[in-house]
Chains A and B, each alone.
Chain A
């Protein structure tokens, strides 16, 4: 990548939660490398929280933010009550990074943030998936019409580069996707299989270990996996689907008897997300013990069925702040290479 000498790239971060903070830490850690190796300097000129924003047009001192921990609201450039939706347009930045919580019904406030950015000459990176399983094509069109780039690798499988496969497999044809996209439900099924415990018990265990939310509905009923499946199918196969197109069946009704019976035949019950023949399905399925989909614990796996090279399989940790942050940095470098290299 040949870049113009020491190019400054200005970014806006929305959401300073788990992913947002991991991004700040990772960027701080990597900035030297980016500077020396690629000749770029990534500056964060604004960080929005739900109740205000840190803004410094010259670039926020990341070290200071990291050291201030929860007390960032006491910093002199904290602007109480200044909200992202009102401010995005007027800020002079190249890239907006969206990491607010997922709103499964409306996709807000992320959709508004993304639209505002695209309309005001900013490329977009998001770890928030709701906008892309609710309004994928509207956003893609808006990006295209405004000649903007939009990347959202962290939304599916966190650091697993599954969306990047669109470009990497350009010379092939992707015909189907089989995947496990939710670590919580995979953890529960894995424990039911290995320990012979009930669904309820395995769920409690997952909650105690921090793998499952207090309200685990989205994970165990398949909604989270369905959203990610929509994004995968739209991005990798050019489909035009929303989450309403997915036939979803959760795992909460699975009894241990079923898991045991399967096990005695060397098959495992897995919560699969399947995109094939114009259909999107999330449901428990029987998977052979030696199948690449037979992964355990909180891991995710994406099996891409290609016309000319058979199956291509990606597996890894599908969640976590650092994992998501590393995907965001990758997206950032992708945009930089497209926009600012000679």
Chain B
């Protein structure tokens, strides 16, 4: 998902002019917020979200920027936000003694991020359970990450509880 924010002159046709380069370069527009209430110095902020096919990202995103700048439009933001998905797993065993930092790093190597760990601890030497919340871009298949976690659990002799 790409987010583009700019300031447009309050005159007829300016919004259409602004959107043209996006569609001409293969952008698929999802939403437009054109907020007249926030008009300042005859400029209205506009917020557009659109999608650009992965293959076009490198070539056409710069083209969109250039085309807008040529039209004299002031871009305040142009960023690509990766859509995220979340999953939870529980690990049981010597979760901490078996080097949880290593576990987290290995999940990160596959492109996912452990965003939260909740654990129940008895004594350090005892087995414990930890619930991991994992965030990953939608472009990565959950199964690949789960396979990695399964592999780690096998090596570290941990029990893995996946989500449904």
Contact = CB atoms under 8 A, between A and B. Distances in A.
Interface string B41-84: 00000000000000000000000000000000000000000000
A286 interface: yes
B164 A284 contact: no
Interface stretch (A7-15, A31-39, A252-260): A252-260
A286 B129 contact: no
B131 to A, nearest CB: 5
The size class of the interface chain B forms with chain A is: 10 to 19
Decide if the interface of chain B is mainly helix, strand, loop or mixed: strand
Contacts of B90: 258, 261-262, 286
A154 interface: no
B163 A286 contact: yes
Interface residues of A, number: 23
A255 B92 contact: yes
A257 B120 contact: yes
A204 B89 CA distance: 29
Given A253-B159, A255-B92, A286-B89, A261 B164 contact: no
B113 interface: no
Given A265-B118, A265-B131, A258 B161 contact: yes
Interface in A223-264: 253-255, 257-258, 260-262, 264
Interface string B6-40: 00000000000000000000000000000000000
Contacts of A257: 92, 120, 122, 128-129
A342 interface: no
A261 B131 contact: yes
A293 to B, nearest CB: 6
A285 interface: yes
A286 B118 contact: no
Contacts of A71: none
B142 interface: no
A283 B162 CA distance: 9
A258 B92 contact: yes
Given A258-B92, A286-B90, A178 B164 contact: yes
A267 B88 contact: yes
A269 interface: yes
A248 to B, nearest CB: 14
A260 B89 CA distance: 14
A287 interface: yes
B163 A261 contact: no
A317 interface: no
Nearest to A287: B164
Q: Which 5 A-B residue pairs are closest in the complex by CB-CB distance?
A: A286-B163, A258-B129, A257-B129, A287-B164, A261-B129
Interface of A: 178, 253-255, 257-258, 260-262, 264-265, 267, 269-270, 272, 283-288, 291, 293
Interface of B: 88-90, 92, 118-120, 122, 127-131, 159, 161-164
